[in-house]
């Protein structure tokens, strides 16, 4: 029996992008079964932008609530066995769904899949090609061979995900059962930067997945991206990891992995605050960082941050 595929798209003020996104979705070599679009209170001419696809998509409108809630609404109003995520400003290659089905045919027991992709601001290399040395082997337990397109990830693959985030929403397809097993999207993360990591990290903490080395998605980078500011992204990632630990959303066996990444991100954010002359923020954040984990340069930065605000060490 053929399993069905639903596409879930959150959209907010993307009238200039959504038509092209839908064009790519409806140009797939293997068609999807339904497309659910959640309009997160758009104030632009979204209706006109989607008019030519109006009889092919289901549109749900909500008050502006943030991308995670809009994505949740789209997912939970779909009916497919599999959920394919797509952001409203990203593009699928024509073989994206076909590629997924080929991978699933090779690993039929899998419940999660993600593909390699190109970012529009870095067309010379794919996301996987930009990864740290040895990352792909840590993700899959295998050496990346040009002759092999699909690999099974380690179970769980949270460590590799937190080391290098290469599982973006528009590349991600998962079984509805997996989504329900982890309790779905949590509404309170909806306006956090990098909110999608909260969902993928929880999935990556309990399952293995299929990864495709074939690039089948273009992630568009532009000034309107919600996640466009680096400092806000890191702040969001810290909030997410803190929430995973505080609310026991990953198993105790994975706590050390999450805690180590949490500390690394806080040190990185401290430096970003310092370099951007946000000395008050750097000072406040430093109180939650172990001094033993700071380099000599970081300790000098800490002293400068304190002195710039006239605080006592």
Q: Which domains does the chain have, with CATH numbers?
A: 5-228 (3.90.550.10), 231-308 (no CATH)
Residues 105-139: pLDDT tens digits?
Answer: 999 999 999 999 999 887 779 999 999 999 999 99
Sorting pLDDT into bands at 50, 70 and 90, what band is 228?
A: very low
Joined tokens for residue 145:
């061979």
Percentage, residues of the chain above pLDDT 70: 96
Angstrom CA distances, 223 to 45, 201, 229, 307, stand at: 19, 26, 9, 35
pLDDT score recorded for residue 224: 60
Distance, in Å, from the CA atom of 274 to the CA atom of 53, rounded to the nearest integer, reads 48
Of 1-5, 237-241, 265-269, the poorest mean pLDDT is in 1-5
Q: d(Cα 210, Cα 100) in Å, to the nearest integer?
A: 9
Task: Specify whether the CB–CB gap between 277 and 309 falls below 8 A.
Answer: no
Q: Report whether pLDDT(227) > 80.
A: no
Place of tokens 């995973």: 244
Alpha-carbon torsion 194, 199, 205, 210, what sign? Answer: negative
Q: What pLDDT, on a 0 to 100 scale, did the predictor assign at position 120?
A: 87
**Cα separation of 159 and 259, whole Å?**
11
pTM: 0.94
């Amino acid at each position: 029996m053929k399993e069905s595929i639903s596409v879930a798209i959150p959209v907010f003020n993307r009238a200039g992008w959504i038509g092209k996104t839908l064009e790519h979705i409806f140009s797939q070599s293997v068609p999807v079964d339904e497309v659910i679009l959640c309009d997160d209170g758009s104030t632009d001419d979204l209706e006109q932008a989607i008019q030519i696809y109006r009889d092919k998509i289901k549109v749900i409108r909500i008050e502006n609530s943030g991308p995670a809630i809009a994505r949740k609404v789209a997912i939970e109003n779909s009916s497919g066995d599999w959920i394919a995520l797509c952001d409203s400003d990203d593009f699928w290659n024509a073989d994206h769904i076909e590629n997924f089905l080929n991978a699933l045919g090779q690993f039929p027991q899998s419940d999660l899949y993600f593909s390699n992709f190109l970012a529009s601001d870095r067309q010379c290399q794919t996301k996987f090609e930009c990864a740290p040395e040895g990352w792909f082997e840590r993700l899959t337990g295998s050496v990346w061979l040009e002759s092999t397109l699909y690999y099974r990830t380690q179970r769980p693959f949270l460590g590799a995900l937190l080391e290098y985030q290469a599982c973006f929403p528009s590349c991600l397809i998962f079984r509805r059962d997996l989504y329900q097993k982890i309790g779905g999207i949590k509404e309170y993360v909806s306006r956090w930067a990098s909110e999608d990591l909260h969902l993928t990290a929880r999935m990556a903490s309990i399952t293995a997945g299929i990864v495709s080395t074939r690039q089948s998605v273009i992630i568009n980078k532009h000034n309107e991206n919600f996640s466009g500011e680096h400092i806000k992204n890191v702040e969001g990632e810290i909030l997410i990891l803190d929430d995973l630990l505080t609310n026991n959303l990953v198993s105790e066996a994975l706590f050390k992995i999450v805690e180590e990444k949490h500390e690394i991100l806080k040190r990185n954010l401290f430096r970003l605050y310092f370099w951007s002359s946000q000395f008050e923020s750097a000072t406040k954040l430093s109180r939650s960082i172990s001094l033993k984990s700071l380099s000599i340069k970081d300790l000098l930065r800490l002293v400068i941050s304190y002195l710039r605000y006239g605080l006592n060490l």
